[in-house]
Amino acid sequence: MYSLNEAQRTQLKEDGWCLITREEIESRELVRQALRSVNLWCADVRLPALSRGLPRARLRDFASDTFCPDLRFAPEFLDLVEKTGIRSVIHSIIGETAEFGVQIALRFPDDKARQSDFHPHIDGFASDNLLDNFNILAGFYLSDVTRQFAGNFTVWPRSHIAAANFFAEHDVQQLLHAKQFSLLREMLARVPKAEPRQIEARAGDVVLCHYLLFHCPAVNLSEDIRYMAFVRFRSTRQAPGDCEQLGSLWHYWNDQATIQR
């Protein structure tokens, strides 16, 4: 089974993210199968709502939640996690996990977007009355993204440290009990200090991110659709909505090689 090398462990700790290449985890054929499933779903004439392609009225909902909701637990996406060894990597860091199922994220070309359109966020604050947090985000590239502003998954290196410091300095429980998520999001939006990093990768590469790392997709000014699949992993020691980790970077992490080096 694959395990992170020294450089990847260091980058995950210090910058909050690292990239695993398709050669390291032998993922290319698995990604082809997953991508085929996505395209078949999008073009499936047996689904009345999609008989003429993706319904424009639902594109915004798909973009904010997931495309191809029927595939959230499909075998080909489970294979991406299991057969590549990604699950064993995650287990080495946070132990046994419960994941949310796959989120399939497509980013379409947009000729009206601006390069400055970045909207960094931390997952789990989409609702004003629910904290839906986890520990590690794994993003599987289903298509090549080898230039800038092509819908790249974009991160703010070291913002996970700034976010943890922010939470440690505030009464998170009070914010949660008061359901001040809108205010919290506004405050968090000021945290990233580093320049955004648009991650270029090939189909089959995987990016791992600390939960507290700020991220977002870059605009897609290319001619291609960007395909990615995200899996969110939560330690079974963490109850849904548990905010203990927010002010402590390594609260549920048990990989001493990762957090001490």
Per-residue pLDDT reduced to its tens digit, 68-79: 888 999 999 999
For range 203-232, the mean pLDDT: 96
Query: Which residue type sits at 2?
Result: Y
Where do the domains of the chain lie, and which CATH numbers do they carry?
6-260 (2.60.120.620)
Q: Which of 159, 144, 161, 129 is nearest to 222 (CA)?
A: 144
How many other β-carbons are positioned within 10 Å of the β-carbon of residue 48? 7
For the segment 162-181, the average pLDDT, to the nearest whole number, is: 78
DSSP lists the bridge partners of residue 102 as 231
- How far apart CA 38 and CA 43 sit, in angstroms, is 9
Among the listed residues 145, 108, 106, the one whose alpha carbon sits nearest the alpha carbon of residue 228: 106
Label residue 101 left, alpha or beta by phi (over 0 means left) and psi (-120 to 50 means alpha).
left
Q: Can you tell me the distance from the alpha carbon of 140 to that of 138, in angstroms, rounded to the nearest whole number?
A: 7
Contacts of 108 (CB under 8 A, 6+ apart): 59, 220, 225
Phi then psi dihedrals of residue 79, to 5 deg: -60, -35
Q: Nearest 5°: phi and psi at 177?
A: -65, -35
Segment of 21-30, 92-101, 162-171, 243-252 carrying the highest mean pLDDT:
21-30
**What's the Rg (C-alpha) of the chain?**
18
Q: Which range (29-43, 80-94, 121-135) has the least confidence?
A: 121-135
Give pLDDT tens digits for 183-217. 677 777 777 777 899 999 999 999 999 999 999 99
Cα gap 207→229, rounded to integer Å: 11
- How many residues in total does the chain contain? 261
Question: Chain-centre distance of CA 106, in angstroms?
Answer: 13
- Nearest Cα residue to 50 out of 74, 67, 32: 67
As given in the structure block, the two tokens for residue 22 are 């398709």
CA-based end-to-end distance of the chain: 22
Angle at 156 between CA 185 and CA 34, to 5 degrees: 95
- Give, as one character, the DSSP assignment of residue 121: B
**Residues with Cβ within 8 Å of residue 230, at least 6 apart in sequence:** 102, 103, 105, 137, 138, 139, 140
Instruction: Return the structure tokens found at 181.
Output: 């998520």
Quick one: pLDDT band at residue 55, thresholds 50, 70, 90?
low
For 90, the enclosing helix (H) or strand (E) is helix 86-94
